[in-house]
Structure 1
Amino acid sequence: MSVEAVVLDIDGVLVDVADSYRRAIVESVMHVYDDTIPKADVQSFKNAGGFNNDWELTHATALYILACQEGFDRDLAAFTDAIEASGGGLEGARTVVVNAVDPDTRERIHAKWKRDRLTDVFQQLYLGSELYRDFYDSEPDLDTSGFVYDEPVLAASETIDTLTKRWDVGVVTGRPATEAAIALDRVGLTVPDKYLFTMDSETPGKPAPDALIELAERLDANRIAFAGDTLDDIQTATNATETDPDRDYYGIGVQTGGLSDEDGRQAFKRAGAHAVIEHVDSLPMILDE
């Protein structure tokens, strides 16, 4: 692809989050509402688009559970399909529920929908009690060890070494900055702050192209590869191309985040991926082709 810079997502690309973030999603809903979805079904929300923020995905999962408790009769696949048709993300989920139930039912659902509590439980489960105290300067009400320690590194050190020696490297992630730092330290990837965009950055999150375009400008690059594990990541590259046609943006699907096997490959291709790789360790090789 003769690219001048490489931009990486973190979750599902550099570290495996199946037993951390995705586990925190389903267990947070279980803790608050005593019901949840299977962990594997989190991918259905990801595929619907607009769920780069796992707190919002947790809120949408809880909304589905609460709606079902009030008689909502769609299975999860139909619910997430409807979210996609409604524009994706949390607002799409709200639209689906609003259109499916009567006003009294809607009011009961919203009265029980405790988004702040869900986020707080999520952070306690993910960080664990010790890190939660450090990060929030607050005493947790759950005694947890932290799923953050259950994130296997996906990228080999040789891959990180090759990428950083041969290309300028940036990161665009939906993680908060403090949690991005934990993952990057574990991976062994040092990224200057000006080349790192997180949940805490002022730019809109994926699939909005703003962070990717800003990175291209800061990296002074005209040909940029963006490797991510979700369809939103590919859409981010597509949106960047449309918004900034003077540069070339290449979306690369990485299959270690949930879109695996041939079905995942085809989903990436339909979304407009320029290439699909099974593992981030293959990235340097395809960039040389």
Structure 2
Amino acid sequence: MDLKKLIVFDMDGVIVDVSGSYREVVRQTARLFFNDIRFENNLPNPLFSLADLATVKQAGGLNNDWDLTYHMLTLLMTKVEVSIESPHCKGWACLGSLMPHCDATALSMHLRSSSTPLADLHKQFSGAANPWVDHLSMGDVGTGNIIKQIFQELYLGQDLFRQTYGFVPRIHGGEGLIDQESLLIPKSVFKRLAKTHRLALATGRPRSEAEHALNRFELQTYFKITYTLDECLAEEKNIYEKSGEVLHLSKPHPFMLDAVVEYSSEKLGNLFYIGDMPDDML
């Protein structure tokens, strides 16, 4: 008898079309970040194309869309004239004190200079850092990470944000772009595959967001094994507490795939992993 194959899927860009959710959230986060900058009215709307953003994402090393957002803002800040010292403030007040001391003139000119302004900046400043972006992305939602909070408010929407974090959103009270997502692979395909193979999920999403998608598209019954960002963070913490070693177990680290195989109790045949990014080539 032929053994079942183990087929492990990434979620974003493989199972779920996130071009109108995650990518759009990154772009809208940038717009809100620069909302009070001097000469903000001169900035193009939208700031850049989603195709341009996708080019930067496809370059690799940015499998997490929060990291993509931090990197994108760092690139844009290379074209912003800042007339204030390094940050000595915290939270929303810090963003409020920064933007009135920033000039968007050079940024506006650059964003209008080509069809790929972000990719152009990435080629020139891929390893750059910015003290303000670094400062405003420290901690987590509710503990100082303003950039991530803007992102999560836009992505989750008012109700899901409150359920996830336990407090009301600050700047976005509408629906979340998470509900703009659609399936890339028909449900019938998973139903057929699950009859003769073992399906698993290995995604950089937090577990709550992965389960939201599985439940919304009624796929949860087909995926018996799921590994998410939560499992990576939990194991990172466990390793640090035991040995003091700092590891990053999200992709491209093979931790999730190794864990999926180890979790599978039955004897399996060939193993396959389906992803869409350079970081998925583990």
* TM-score between the two structures when normalised by the length of structure 1: 0.67
Deviates more, 1:14-23 or 1:69-78: 69-78
State the alpha-carbon separation in 1 of the partners of residues 259 and 224 from structure 2: 10
Q: From the superposition, tell whether residues 3 and 230 of structure 1 become closer, same or farther in structure 2 (CA, over 3 Å).
A: farther
What code does the residue aligned with 1:110 have?
P
SS of 2:78 mapped into structure 1: helix
Of the three residues 162, 170, 193, the one matched with 2:200 is 170
The higher radius of gyration belongs to 2
User: Aligned partners of 1:139 and 1:76: how far apart in 2?
Assistant: 32
Which amino acid in the other structure matches residue 225 of structure 1? F
Instruction: For 1:12 and 1:199, locate their aligned partners in 2 and report how far apart those are by CA, in whole Å.
Output: 16
- Other-structure match for 1:105: none
Question: Is 1:111 the equivalent of 2:111?
Answer: no
Name which of 218, 221, 227 aligns with 2:274.
Answer: 227
Among 33, 45, 52, the alignment partner of 2:56 is 45
Q: For the Cα contact (< 8 Å) 1:172–1:196, is it kept in 2?
A: yes
Higher RCO (C-alpha under 8 Å, 6+ residues apart): 2
How many angstroms apart in 1 are the aligned matches of 2:164 and 2:200? Answer: 25
Aligned equivalents of 2:22, 2:30: Cα separation in 1: 13
1: CA distance, partners of 2:268 / 2:71: 37
Aligned to 1:77: 119
Q: Which amino acid aligns with 2:13?
A: G
- Equivalent residue, structure 2, for 1:140: 169
Alignment match, 1:31: 32
- Greater fraction of residues in helix: 1
Partner of 2:66: 55
When structure 1 is superposed on structure 2, of 45-54 and 23-32 the one drifting more is 45-54
Give the match's secondary structure for 2:17: coil
Asked whether the equivalents of residues 155 and 187 of structure 1 are also in contact (C-alpha less than 8 Å), the reply is no
Percent identical: 30
User: Secondary structure at the residue paired with 2:199?
Assistant: strand
Deviation at 1:165, TM superposition (A): 1.0
Q: Secondary structure at the match of 1:201?
A: helix
Structure 1: distance between partners of 2:195 and 2:158? 38
Aligned pairs for 1:88-237 within 5 A: 93=126, 96-97=127-128, 109-111=130-132, 113=134, 114-115=136-137, 116-141=145-170, 142-190=172-220, 195-202=225-232, 204-219=249-264, 220-221=267-268, 223-233=270-280, 235-236=281-282
Deviations 1:188-213 (A, max 9, x none): 22269972111111351111112112
Pairwise CA distance, 1:79:
3.8
Q: Which amino acid aligns with 1:134?
A: Q
Alpha-carbon distance between aligned partners in 2 of 1:168 and 1:210, rounded to the nearest angstrom: 19
Deviation string 1:240-274 (CA, Å, 9 cap, x unpaired) is: xxxxxxxxxxxxxxxxxxxxxxxxxxxxxxxxxxx
Matches within 5 A, 1:243-282: none
Task: Please report the TM-score for the alignment, with normalisation by the length of structure 2.
Answer: 0.68
Q: 1:12 deviation in Å?
A: 1.3
Secondary structure of 2:204's counterpart equals coil
Instruction: Please list the CA deviations of residues 71-97 of structure 1 after superposition, one character each: whole Å capped at 9, or x if unmatched.
Output: 7989532443467xxxxxxxxx4xx22
**Match for residue 99 of structure 2?**
none
CA–CA distance in 2 between the matches of 1:185 and 1:144?
21
Equivalenced residue count is 213
Contact 1:170–1:215 at 8 Å: present in 2 too? yes
- Contact (CA 8 Å) 2:52, 2:117: kept in 1 or not? no
* CA deviation after TM superposition for structure 1 residue 16, in Å: 0.8
The range that moved more, 41-50 or 121-130, is 41-50
Letter in 2 for 1:59: Y
